[in-house]
């Protein structure tokens, strides 16, 4: 009998009572190792009620006390992140070093949130009118919901909850049902760091739990990350129910390579950004846009490197792990067949690759497809796996037009040694996050993360100052204190 992963409500682990569960796989072994409880309405209400109950006290904790807890959480996370990395690898499949990498990026947001008192300072204008002062403050919203995807079970929740908590909100996190244990581990860490019960809750579940958060009147705001159709749904439903929503969606990221680029750097970057985490990253490079005559020599260098990549169990010393489920692996592999049918050239086919792992794992090796037509589904759809496409263009302008015509706008990169071209690119390109000779331009924690077009709905991005803005609302106060020396009734001591 497998262990069933439960919820974390009001400061304690709570077993699921709905009778509904979902299997959790070890993708490198290809077997179900656990089940996760899926919340019913009573459990959804219980998690929101715990967060609502904890809110007034947590909101009124002094900045100093809040900061102390944030610092402690950061120290514990830093000490023990190896444990969390093992949990991530066992449920997601990414290699251990990459799991540690995602935790480190999440930890940066915790570190940013430790400085929250500085970011919450308001403005003060003395004598805006004679004897009248005007000042501003930002206050917490209340209960906020965070709904996260499978591909970053620690980092994506950490884009949001350190800031939500540091600004005085209470949280209900609904992690992906594919890798639900990381969230529980983080909840226990918060408790150890001294966070009052009910400030951070974990609700395991599926669409029912998401809808519950979207519709409940006590939930003030929703931060969502996932595929574009669900992001759009969450944005619309949340707005309909009067909530503040930021909903980050899918991606199809291009890398534009100009003929003057350093092709060794480009090839290394294409490999890292195309196949890291088996391509299951929203900032993965999916399409290399090669400005001719760059394509042939670049493909040669990429293939040389692909031949050296090792694929296997993420607990071993491999470059790339399995995909998250068999169903997802099969879907990703189906694009290789589509490429063949659409007349593209499959240069390296990742199906049937030799792996350092169990034969039942959800394997698909790095795949390279040349001459992909922009009308093909291989180009138009998000694949979310280790499949890198090459599209050949004749000029910089053609490349920019192609990228700007894309439906998504999460990240993009240009590789060139021409500063003028790079500067034009950053100005002209219709994408939210840009890399210049950097393939995965994920902004650091004190900047904000988010794309354009179908990659993000709502105008406020994750973390950085925009994250602080999202989790607080502003007040402007106009005040006049009469000077007691101004005549009138005065029952105090005599004045000059």
Closer to ligand NAD at the Cβ: 226 or 321?
226
| Residues within window 382-441 making contact with ligand NAD, judged by CB under 6 A | 382, 384, 410
Burial of 369 (0-12, 13-18, 19+ CB in 10 A): buried
Site membership for ligand NAD, residue 323 (CB under 6 A): no
Calculate the alpha carbon distances from 7 to 320, 328, 427, 452 in Å.
Answer: 31, 26, 46, 34
Which contacts (CB < 8 Å, 24+ apart) does range 337-342 have? 338/376, 338/377, 338/378, 339/369, 339/372, 339/376, 339/378, 342/372, 342/373, 342/375, 342/376, 342/377, 342/378
Site membership for ligand NAD, residue 73 (CB under 6 A): no
Site membership for ligand NAD, residue 145 (CB under 6 A): no
| Residues within window 338-357 making contact with ligand NAD, judged by CB under 6 A | none
Of 207, 351, 394, 423, the one binding ligand NAD (CB under 6 A) is 207
Closer to ligand NAD at the Cβ: 168 or 385?
385
- Sign for the CA dihedral angle at 123, 125, 126, 128 comes to negative
What distance in Å separates the CA atoms of residue 157 and residue 189, rounded to the nearest whole number? 14
Closest C-alpha among 376, 378, 349 to residue 364: 349
What distance in Å separates the CA atoms of residue 18 and residue 213, rounded to the nearest whole number? 17
CB of 388 to ligand NAD, least distance (A): 16
Site membership for ligand NAD, residue 177 (CB under 6 A): yes
Closer to ligand NAD at the Cβ: 161 or 384?
384
Phi, psi of 334 (to 5 degrees): -65, -25
- One character per residue 366-385, x = contact with ligand NAD (rule: CB under 6 A): ----------------x-x-
Site membership for ligand NAD, residue 150 (CB under 6 A): yes
Choices 29-37, 84-92, 221-229, 353-361 (CB under 6 A): range interacting with ligand NAD: 221-229
CB of 360 to ligand NAD, least distance (A): 22
Of 89, 170, 176, 204, the one binding ligand NAD (CB under 6 A) is 176
Q: Which of 282, 288, 414, 468 is catalytic?
A: 282
Residue 238's contacts (CB-CB under 8 Å, 6 or more residues apart) are 214, 222, 224, 244, 245, 247
CB of 400 to ligand NAD, least distance (A): 22
Choices 105-113, 133-141, 150-158, 365-373 (CB under 6 A): range interacting with ligand NAD: 150-158
Closer to ligand NAD at the Cβ: 107 or 416?
107
Residue 30: its H or E element: none
Active site includes 114?
no
What distance in Å separates the CA atoms of residue 496 and residue 486, rounded to the nearest whole number? 10
Site size toward ligand NAD (CB under 6 A) is 27
CB of 120 to ligand NAD, least distance (A): 25
Distance of CA 155 to the CA centre of its chain: 6
| Residues within window 451-480 making contact with ligand NAD, judged by CB under 6 A | 451, 455
Site membership for ligand NAD, residue 106 (CB under 6 A): no
Closer to ligand NAD at the Cβ: 209 or 270?
209
What distance in Å separates the CA atoms of residue 496 and residue 494, rounded to the nearest whole number? 7
Closer to ligand NAD at the Cβ: 55 or 150?
150
What's the token pair of residue 155? 């980092």
Choices 81-89, 173-181, 194-202, 265-273 (CB under 6 A): range interacting with ligand NAD: 173-181
CB of 434 to ligand NAD, least distance (A): 15
Contact in structure between 158 and 462 (CB atoms under 8 Å) = no
Site membership for ligand NAD, residue 202 (CB under 6 A): no
Phi, psi of 407 (to 5 degrees): -75, -25
What distance in Å separates the CA atoms of residue 458 and residue 454, rounded to the nearest whole number? 11
Site membership for ligand NAD, residue 151 (CB under 6 A): yes
Site membership for ligand NAD, residue 198 (CB under 6 A): no
Closer to ligand NAD at the Cβ: 148 or 367?
148
* DSSP per-residue string spanning 223-243: EEES-HHHHHHHHHHHHHTT-
CB of 451 to ligand NAD, least distance (A): 6
What's the token pair of residue 178? 């594919």
Calculate the alpha carbon distances from 229 to 232, 251, 278, 382, 420 in Å.
Answer: 5, 12, 22, 12, 37
Q: Cβ–Cβ contacts within 10 Å for residue 90, how many?
A: 22
CB of 232 to ligand NAD, least distance (A): 10
Site membership for ligand NAD, residue 235 (CB under 6 A): no
What's the token pair of residue 327? 């169903």
Choices 46-54, 102-110, 224-232, 479-487 (CB under 6 A): range interacting with ligand NAD: 224-232
What distance in Å separates the CA atoms of residue 398 and residue 272, rounded to the nearest whole number? 25
Instruction: Provide the edge-to-edge strand list for the sheet that holds 285-291.
Output: 345-348, 367-370, 387-393, 285-291, 253-257, 411-415, 433-436
| Residues within window 245-304 making contact with ligand NAD, judged by CB under 6 A | 248-251, 282
> Known catalytic residues?
282
Chain residues that interact with ligand NAD, rule: CB under 6 A: 147-152, 156, 174, 176-177, 206-207, 210, 225-227, 230, 248-251, 282, 382, 384, 410, 451, 455
């Amino acid at each position: 009998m497998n262990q069933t992963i439960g919820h974390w409500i009001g400061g304690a682990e709570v077993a699921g009572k709905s009778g509904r569960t979902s299997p959790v796989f070890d993708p490198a072994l290809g077997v179900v190792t656990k089940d996760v409880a899926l919340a019913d309405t009573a459990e959804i209400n219980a998690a929101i009620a715990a967060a609502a109950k904890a809110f007034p006290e947590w909101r009124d904790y002094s900045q100093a006390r809040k900061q102390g807890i944030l610092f402690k959480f950061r120290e514990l996370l830093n000490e023990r992140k190896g444990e969390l990395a093992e949990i991530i690898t066992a449920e997601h499949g990414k290699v251990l070093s990459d799991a540690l990498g995602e935790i480190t990026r999440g930890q940066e947001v915790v570190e940013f949130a430790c400085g929250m008192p500085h970011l919450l300072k308001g403005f003060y204008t003395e004598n805006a009118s004679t004897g009248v002062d005007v000042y501003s403050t930002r206050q917490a919203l209340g209960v906020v919901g965070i709904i996260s995807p499978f591909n970053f079970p620690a980092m994506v929740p950490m884009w949001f909850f350190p800031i939500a908590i540091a600004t005085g909100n209470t949280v209900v996190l609904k992690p992906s049902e594919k890798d639900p244990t990381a969230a529980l581990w983080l909840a226990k860490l918060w408790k150890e760091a001294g966070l009052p019960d009910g400030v951070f809750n974990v609700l395991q579940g599926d669409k029912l739990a998401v809808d519950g958060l979207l519709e409940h009147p006590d939930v003030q705001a929703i931060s969502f990350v996932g595929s574009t159709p669900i992001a759009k749904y969450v944005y619309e439903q949340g707005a309909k129910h009067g909530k503040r929503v930021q909903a980050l969606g899918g991606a199809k990221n291009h890398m534009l390579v100009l003929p003057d680029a350093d092709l060794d750097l480009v090839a290394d970057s294409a490999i890292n950004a195309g196949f890291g985490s088996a391509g299951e990253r929203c900032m993965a490079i999916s399409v290399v846009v090669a400005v001719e005559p760059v394509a042939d020599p670049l493909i040669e260098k990429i293939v040389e490197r692909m031949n050296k990549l090792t694929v296997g169990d993420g607990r071993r010393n491999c470059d790339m792990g399995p995909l998250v489920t068999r169903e997802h692996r099969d879907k990703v592999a189906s694009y290789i067949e589509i490429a063949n049918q659409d007349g593209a050239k499959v240069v390296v086919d990742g199906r049937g690759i030799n792996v350092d792992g169990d034969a039942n794992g959800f394997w698909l090796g790095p795949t390279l497809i040349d001459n992909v037509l922009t009308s093909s589904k291989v180009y138009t759809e998000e694949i979310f796996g280790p499949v890198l496409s090459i599209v050949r263009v004749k000029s910089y302008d053609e490349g920019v037009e192609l990228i700007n015509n894309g439906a998504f706008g999460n990240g993009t990169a240009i590789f060139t040694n021409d500063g003028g071209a790079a500067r034009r690119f950053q100005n002209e390109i219709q994408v939210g996050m840009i890399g210049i000779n950097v393939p995965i331009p994920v902004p650091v924690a004190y900047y904000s993360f988010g794309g354009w077009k179908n990659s993000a709905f709502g105008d406020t991005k994750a973390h950085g100052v925009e994250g602080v803005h999202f989790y607080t609302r502003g007040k402007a106060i106009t005040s006049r204190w009469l000077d007691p020396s101004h005549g009138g009734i005065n029952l105090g001591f005599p004045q000059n």
